[in-house]
Structure 1
């Protein structure tokens, strides 16, 4: 698809949010048990020791008063007086394709972006700009905790309602395509057709549209998965061919064998496309491995981690290999979509679809349920 005069993503999906910023690494981890142990260690410490373990910043200290994270279980009393069990960790996307866990406590997060958490639920899809990746967009069902690209929730309200699309876009596509697309079809097209910018070439050719939408739904399923495990072409799946050591330290790839080695442990088959997938100039698999094996500073909460490589990490790695390989296939096929009957940004401007109203660039008013403010006060939102 050509992207000459293609509509900007920022106009087609007007509402966006800056990426959250943790401010400290330890409230997120690849396993939830470590997070609970870190929380317990923080609360067992007192005074200056607790302050040092927190790793305070200008935005967060033991004495910062903040409201509860929407949907989170954290308290609102100042951390200097905090007690009780760890808020139940929640699943997040810590980096592209790296699913981890987070203590959902607003007192631990420098810039949580509450507007993201208000609309986070099982029906939400977050579209993340990934300028230094093979594809300019990544979609996830999990709250994303990485930058630098902006995040565009596809639904402006909880429950999968009010798509984050320029008003009038669906009507215009209905006229040009001869049938009204479902909002999720527009999301699928966007994920697969987006080009650097990011811009989203649109087409009025029903055949090209249908092929792009089908590829996009495949990509969305691979990035969301919803508990299902994909298979490589021919029904293949990577397996552990030689047992992984208790604490692997090195990762290497043998292209001829299509095998991934974690020290002497061996996983195969690993298609080259999975190993070669990069974001931000780093291989996804290498960054994923480093996040689970890099040593943290002694005496820090981040140093609290599993003593041995959990079986769950192996399962996640096998699934990640499959997902990366299959997404590479989708990208390759999508790149071959022919440019046909483009719907340009100029056309959408002439039709009054663009620019979108200023109000659509702001979050919707989500008034229910009530949120708890600092020190237990009722928050007004």
Structure 2
């Protein structure tokens, strides 16, 4: 459609009346809908030429609904706020970058295989503990009333009580999915897998394809040793926080911020080979005159985009969604970025991947060199109904439990504008803050698990260290931008084969010992 309009029209004007993005504040919404709204006007003059793209301009209309209508009533075609859009045939109708942003390779150019996270279509298949999932499964399986059973299950196009499916890849997934779920007489065993539900929130998912609308089976194939998933909010403006996040667990589709979707960019293919554009590592070795490993490329990307300074630096450019990565030509800057990227991955995976620069293996190690939060008063067995934070005393209260030395900055760490600590805690209260779409969603934790106390202590320590790493990563990015860089075209000239078709973006699967390129 974009190419057709560029070839057919001679002029165009895009008026974005929802620059806030999806789910704008109620007072700002032009219509009472979640979807962003824009007005598009196109004109075809007598001198139209299908080989010359139309001259298209763009403008944002900010403010409340009343203020937007007032601005529209006075808008003219010669308003100085109009901006020219990109001219490539299929490019989005968004403002052209005023910087060299469009010359950088996109993150999914560098890491071609990309995949949506798990799209379950029902929230009750996720929980922060296995016993909650067991209770929900027993409830729906033991339900004798057909209508009530369907209401609990939540039938959908791709999943229903009667629909069978191919099992998910992996020895730890349910293999008996050729039988309809409604035919299970009683719960004797079930399969759960730990997943990256949200950033730094490791929950469990029932690993049964009959219960997942779009489970992303290729991503399940990608659960191989040494795997790490970069995760990008590719279709929306990322608001505040880092441009990319990382997990060593299979991610939910809303892993990035709890809404808006997103996609995973795995470090390696299921067959263990690197998920990199062909020729990329060789081209970088040529420029640096030294060995550059495949792993370093993945780490460099993390070091460049895994912090809030990246989104702040490229705020205007990121209103056209999609992360791009400036590639330095300076070997010293490359090394700094690789180090920061490994450190970031170590933190965001609770120490399971990446590396601390001083070799620590425990995210709570007292030798790390910063005052880390401490767990001082036990939460106890009861399930808390609320939690609170006192910035004056730097104490976090969870029910009767108390953590000390918790900095305000750690409690305010956000990804995609969503507070990480708030999200983690709210899922573990007596009445979790989440979407309720099935009666099974009312079955929640009745006691506080001691493992949650351990994990919360780790989470607070990680958030503290992520905050401390932010300034170092932001300083590095400024240095990279100020120094010479390799453009996407430069790297193509050095032999890099960028992905241009769906076939270039498929995972390399291993099936029965043979390479399956489908």
Q: Would the TM-score normalized by the shorter structure come out above 0.5?
A: yes
> Deviation digits for residues 182-201 of structure 1, max 9, x if unmatched?
11111111011124530111
From 325, 328, 331, the counterpart of 1:200: 325
Q: CA deviation at 1:280?
A: 3.3
Residue 274 (1) aligns with residue 410 (2): yes
Give the aligned partner of residue 368 of structure 1.
512
Give the aligned partner of residue 187 of structure 1.
298
CA distance in 2, matches of 1:298, 1:166: 41
CA distance in 2, matches of 1:369, 1:67: 20
**Conserved in 2, the CA contact under 8 Å of 1:2 and 1:201?**
no
1:110-259 alignment, distance < 5 Å: 110-130=213-233, 131-147=238-254, 148-158=261-271, 161-194=272-305, 195=310, 196=318, 197-224=322-349, 225-226=351-352, 228-231=361-364, 233-234=368-369, 236-244=371-379, 246-259=382-395
| DSSP-derived class of the 1:336 partner | helix
From 473, 476, 488, the counterpart of 1:345: 488
Q: CA deviation at 1:214?
A: 0.8
**Largest Rg, 1 or 2:** 2
1:299-378 alignment, distance < 5 Å: 300-337=439-476, 338-339=479-480, 340-356=483-499, 358=501, 359-368=503-512
CA distance in 2, matches of 1:319, 1:285: 12
CA distance in 2, matches of 1:2, 1:114: 37
**Conserved in 2, the CA contact under 8 Å of 1:192 and 1:331?**
no
CA distance in 2, matches of 1:313, 1:335: 32
Q: CA deviation at 1:356?
A: 2.9
Give the aligned partner of residue 376 of structure 1.
none
| DSSP-derived class of the 1:99 partner | strand
Q: CA deviation at 1:251?
A: 2.3
- Higher-RCO chain (CA-CA 8 Å, sequence separation at least 6): 1
**Conserved in 2, the CA contact under 8 Å of 1:251 and 1:286?**
no
Q: CA deviation at 1:141?
A: 0.7
Give the aligned partner of residue 108 of structure 1.
211
CA distance in 1, matches of 2:151, 2:513: 35
Give the aligned partner of residue 51 of structure 1.
150
CA distance in 2, matches of 1:122, 1:348: 30
From 41, 49, 62, the counterpart of 2:139: 41
**Conserved in 2, the CA contact under 8 Å of 1:190 and 1:200?**
yes
TM-score, normalization by structure 1 = 0.89
**Conserved in 1, the CA contact under 8 Å of 2:242 and 2:415?**
no
| DSSP-derived class of the 1:253 partner | strand
CA distance in 2, matches of 1:334, 1:279: 16
> Deviation digits for residues 271-329 of structure 1, max 9, x if unmatched?
22211111233211111111112637698222223311111111111111111221222
CA distance in 1, matches of 2:428, 2:224: 27
**Conserved in 2, the CA contact under 8 Å of 1:126 and 1:141?**
yes
Aligned residue-pair number:
369
Structure 1, 296-305 or 209-218: larger mean CA deviation: 296-305
TM-score, normalization by structure 2 = 0.67
**Conserved in 1, the CA contact under 8 Å of 2:161 and 2:181?**
yes
Structure 1, 114-123 or 293-302: larger mean CA deviation: 293-302
1:59-78 alignment, distance < 5 Å: 59-71=158-170, 72-76=173-177, 77-78=179-180
Give the aligned partner of residue 81 of structure 1.
183
Q: CA deviation at 1:21?
A: 1.0
CA distance in 2, matches of 1:298, 1:213: 43
Q: CA deviation at 1:51?
A: 1.9
> Deviation digits for residues 207-251 of structure 1, max 9, x if unmatched?
111111111111111122129531375364322223326222222
Structure 1, 346-355 or 213-222: larger mean CA deviation: 346-355
Unpaired runs of 5+ in structure 2?
A: 1-98, 255-260, 311-317, 354-360
**Conserved in 2, the CA contact under 8 Å of 1:39 and 1:86?**
no
CA distance in 1, matches of 2:486, 2:326: 7
**Conserved in 2, the CA contact under 8 Å of 1:40 and 1:86?**
no
Question: CA 1:252 to 1:360, structure 2 compared with 1: closer, same or farther past 3 Å?
Answer: same
> Deviation digits for residues 148-178 of structure 1, max 9, x if unmatched?
22111111124xx211100010000001111
CA distance in 2, matches of 1:190, 1:74: 37
CA distance in 2, matches of 1:24, 1:299: 8
